[in-house]
Structure formats: structure tokens, C-alpha cells
Amino acid sequence: MSNWVRAHTNIALIKYWGKENENVIIPMNNSLSLTLDAFYTETNVTFNENLTTDELYLDNQIQDFDSLLKVKTVLDLVRKKAGIKTKARVDSFNYVPTAAGLASSASGLAALAGSASLAAGLNLSQKELSTLARRGSGSACRSIYGGFAEWQKGHSHETSFAVPVDEANWDIGMLFIIVNDKQKDVSSRDGMSRTVKTSPFYQGWLDSLGQDLSAMKEAIAKQDSHKVGEIAERNALKMHATTLGATPPFTYWSPESMRAMDAVRKLRKQGYSAHFTMDAGPNVKIICKQSELEEIKAHLLNDFTESQLISAKPGPGLQKIEKPDLLK
């Protein structure tokens, strides 16, 4: 029986950066994101009595033990809840470059949580799915929902999950500038840990987050895409500043990232509502009006190639599908 599930990536507008509890992935702060339609993962889990170990196939290629660790965490939780011990085969197709700061782990682990729970015969609520996905990758808890979602940090495994904020069926969109889709040198997990432990700027980042989050939710309620972008850009720059104070210092920016950020500032001078955000990777995302996406993309073609520019609109939450796109 097929248990194919699709989950879309989400991009944090109020960033998650740092864990209070690394074992069960409790964050240091609440975060807020927008799920997008452009990038997604499709996953099928099958529990099979003949297997002696869990197996992960990503884009038809079997993965090594290290790649299986996050997956096994989610599978073990599902097995415990379902009262089974059967090993699983996981087939996953990623329509997102992996480990390039494009939220591939968010869509990947959200899809896994959905498919594994179906395969085990569990009928989990969105809140339970969000809690489960979080244990694989923190940001995955937000990809359970479409539109805007807030990850409420909580204080335990049971109380840390995302909740829906707004369906985002208004004039807001995002344009990705892909300056590098290769795997990054410093993983998000390692980068967070180093920053929390060593950066003198980190406490200042934490102290400012409550105000940013309140302002963001107010801007969303007013459907003010310009204000949403303004707050998101400020929040992202503060997050990236913390990495420069870490020991040893590091940054996810490349010269191309800075060129892309400068291009966004030029767009603003031309009268467009355009602001950037960046996650733990070099690629730049522009928050703008959905109605201006194509105009903005046309301007950026002066500096970037067509293949580097990907338009995105607000995307849906977790979906059960008949078969993956690649097998149709």
C-alpha cells in the first residue's frame, strides 16, 4: 500500500537559531515562517518484516548511516507510538537542493513524519505531526502547515510544536536567488551550537526577538507585505551577525550573496516592495508582493541567469498523494 506524502519547504521570517535542549530539539526562541510552493519533498515509508535494518533511498540512491540518523529518530518515535518494532524502507524524492540553505530538511522530515505515521496506522493530529517532525529537524515542525506558521518553543517534547497563523492567501510572494546550491561547509546544527556557546552577540539577538515576533504577527494580520519584508530583513541580518562573533567566526554569505542583497536594495530604490532574508546558507530570498514577482524577476535578469531565479507563492501544508511527480 502506498503512503506517499508531500511536504513543502518553509522559510523562516523570524529565525530559529539555537537550541535550548539539543537532545529533543527545543529552540531558544519562537520562530515564524512562510511555507512555499516552489520546493518540496515526496516520501513513502513501508514497514517490512523482512528488513533487518532501516533503509533510506534518496532520489533512488541508498544513503549511508549518517544520513539515516534523523530519519531513524522519527521512525523510532512512530514505532514506539504504534507499538511495533518492524524496520522500514524510506523512499524520498527531494525537489530541493540538499544542505544549501533552502530548507530541504524541513520538507524532508515533515514528509517523513506524515508518511511514517500513515504506514504505522496512526491517525495523528497536525499538532502531533508537528511535534514528531520537530524531532527530526526543528524547522520541519512548521512545514506541516500551509501559509504562515509559528513554532512555539515550549519546554518539553510534548509542548514544542508549530501552530498555523495565517493562510497567506493575499498579495505576498518570494523570489529565490540561487547563488550556490552546493552543500555548505558549516551545517545549520553545528553553526547554531557554535554561535550559542561562543558568540557575545547572541544574547542581544535573543533579547530582540519578542519585539520582532509581535511586530511580524501584526504586519501579517494587516496583510502588509512591505512591513513583513522589512521586519524579516532586519531579523535575518541580526541572526547572521551572531555568527561573526562566534569562535572561530564564520559566515554563510558569499560574494554572490552580497551582490544579491545589493540588487534587492536597488529594487527598493526603484519603488518595489522588496526585502531579503537568508537562512544558514548563501542563497537569498526576496520577500515581495506576489503581483510584482515577474517584474522583479525581469529586473534581476540583468544580474542573474534565469536558472538562478525561482518564483514562489505561499504553499500548502502536508498532503497525501497517489504517487511522486518523478514516477508519473
Task: Give me the pLDDT at residue 101, please.
Answer: 53
Task: Give me the pLDDT at residue 65, please.
Answer: 87
8 close to 36: Cβ distance less than 8 angstroms = yes
Task: Give me the pLDDT at residue 99, please.
Answer: 46
Task: Give me the pLDDT at residue 102, please.
Answer: 64
For 276-306, b where at least 16 C-beta lie within 10 A, e where not — what string?
bbbbbbbbbbbbbbbebbeebbeebeeebee
Bridge partners, 58 (sequence order) = 61, 92
Mean pLDDT, rounded, for 81-91:
98
Task: Give me the pLDDT at residue 96, please.
Answer: 76
pLDDT bracket for residue 182 (50, 70, 90):
confident
Report the C-alpha gap between 318 and 184 in whole angstroms: 27
192: region left, alpha or beta (phi > 0 left; psi from -120 to 50 alpha): alpha
- Direct distance between the N- and C-terminal alpha carbons of the chain, in angstroms, rounded to an integer: 17
Task: Give me the pLDDT at residue 57, please.
Answer: 96
Mean pLDDT, rounded, for 273-288:
95
pLDDT bracket for residue 49 (50, 70, 90):
very high
284 close to 174: Cβ distance less than 8 angstroms = no
4 close to 116: Cβ distance less than 8 angstroms = no
Task: Give me the pLDDT at residue 188, please.
Answer: 86
Q: pLDDT at residue 264 above 80? A: yes
Q: pLDDT at residue 68 above 60? A: yes
Task: Give me the pLDDT at residue 185, please.
Answer: 86
User: Hey, what domains does the chain have and what are their CATH numbers?
Assistant: 5-169 (3.30.230.10), 173-312 (3.30.70.890)
Whether a cis peptide bond, with omega within 30° of 0, leads into 248 is yes
Mean pLDDT, rounded, for 296-301:
98
**How do beta strands 173-177 and 148-152 pair?**
unpaired
Q: What is the largest CA-CA distance in the chain?
A: 62
Average pLDDT, the chain: 95
Of the candidates 120, 179, 256, the one whose C-alpha atom is nearest the C-alpha of residue 112 is 120
Cell numbers found for residue 301:
535578469
Amino acid at 268: R
CA 57 to chain centre: 21
Cell numbers found for residue 325:
511527480
How large is the angle between the packed helices 293-300 and 255-269, nearest 10 degrees? 120
Cell numbers found for residue 102:
533552502
Q: pLDDT at residue 123 above 60? A: yes
Amino acid at 39: F
Of the candidates 13, 9, 39, 242, the one whose C-alpha atom is nearest the C-alpha of residue 106 is 9
Cell numbers found for residue 120:
504505522
Tell me phi and psi for residue 182, to 5 degrees: -85, 165
pLDDT digits (tens, 9 = 90+) for 26-45: 999 999 999 999 999 999 99
Residue positions counted in the chain? 328
Tell me phi and psi for residue 39, to 5 degrees: -120, 140
Which H or E element spans position 149?
A: strand 148-152
pLDDT bracket for residue 138 (50, 70, 90):
very high
For 215-235, b where at least 16 C-beta lie within 10 A, e where not — what string?
bbbebbeeebbbbbbbbbbeb
Q: pLDDT at residue 98 above 60? A: no
Which H or E element spans position 320?
A: strand 319-320
Report the C-alpha gap between 37 and 314 in whole angstroms: 6
Give 180 or 85, the one with higher predicted confidence: 85
Report the C-alpha gap between 176 and 9 in whole angstroms: 12
Which H or E element spans position 21?
A: strand 19-21
Task: Give me the pLDDT at residue 103, please.
Answer: 59
Task: Give me the pLDDT at residue 83, please.
Answer: 98
Please give the model's pTM, rounded to 2 decimal places: 0.95
